Amino acid sequence: MKKLSTFLAGLVFLLFSLQVNAQTKNGVDYFEGKWKISIPGTPIGDLKRLIILEKKDNGLAGVVKDDATGTEIAKISKVEVKDNEVTIYYHANDIDAVLVMTRKDDDHITGNILEAYPLEGTRVKENK
C-alpha cells in the first residue's frame, strides 16, 4: 500500500510540474514579435500592415511597415501594454494613429485602429 501511495504522489507531482511549465505568455512576452494586420474598409482602402514589436526597457518599441512592400510607414512613438492588450501610437499620413491589439489566442489578435476600423492579425512565426 505504501508503494501505491508513493507512486500516486509522484504522479500528482509530475502532472503539477507539467502544468506549471504550460503557462501562456502575457503582456510584453506575448506581443513581442511580428504581426500581420488586416484593416478592411478604411477611407484609403483595405490595409495590410506588418507591426514589428521588440522588447526595450521593460516595454515594447517598434515600427509599422506596409506588408506588401516592406516599406516603413512609421516608427511607433509609444506602446502601452496590459496582460492581453497592447495600444500602439504612431503618426502616419498626417494622422496620429492609435492601434489596439487584443489577444484572441496564442497566435491571433483582434482590435481596432482609431476606434473606428476593426482589425485582425496573425503572429509571423520565424523559421529558426
Check which CATH number belongs to the domain holding 112 and give it.
2.40.128.120
Instruction: Classify residue 20: in a domain, yes or no.
Output: no
pLDDT profile of the chain (128 residues), mean per 10: 63 54 76 98 94 95 96 97 96 95 97 97 88
In the chain, the number of structural domains is 1
Instruction: Classify residue 14: in a domain, yes or no.
Output: no
Range of the domain at 77: 27-124
pTM for the predicted model, two decimal places: 0.79
Cβ atoms of residues 80 and 60 within 8 Å? no
pLDDT at 7: 58
Cβ atoms of residues 106 and 125 within 8 Å? no
Instruction: Classify residue 105: in a domain, yes or no.
Output: yes
pLDDT at 21: 46
Cβ atoms of residues 49 and 70 within 8 Å? no
pLDDT at 118: 98
Cβ atoms of residues 112 and 118 within 8 Å? yes
